[in-house]
Amino acid sequence: MAVNNEIRYLNPPTVEVKKKKYCRFKKAHIKYVDYKDAEFLKRFLNEQGKILPRRLTGTSLKFQRKVAQAVKRARHLALLPYVTDLLK
């Protein structure tokens, strides 16, 4: 079994510098996510209009739920699409 140090990598393994993710809501002391301003909510959606997971946006659980709730309300009111191909 190849011992670890014998493994030759073609190029040095790029250790992704661990950017400390922070919850933008706690940092900016935002208390309430408004479902009416779609521009702000768009930052939490990907190209297809799907909600981004916490591990990418780094938001805390409490605010992730608020964002998800706001996005679903915005979708109900046709401020945000349910699915689209080019959102940004």
67 binds other proteins (CB under 8 A): no
Q: Name, in order, each residue with C-beta under 8 angstroms of 60's C-beta and a sequence gap of 6 or more.
A: 23, 25, 26, 54
Nearer to other proteins, 53 or 69 (CB): 69
9 binds other proteins (CB under 8 A): no
Q: Which residue has the tokens 């909600």?
A: 51
CB 45 within 8 A of CB 51: yes
Closest separation in Å from C-beta 57 to other proteins: 20
Contact region with other proteins (CB under 8 A), list: 2-10, 13-21, 53-61, 77-85: 77-85
CB 25 within 8 A of CB 65: no
Contacts with other proteins by CB under 8 A lie at 31-32, 34-36, 73, 75-82, 84
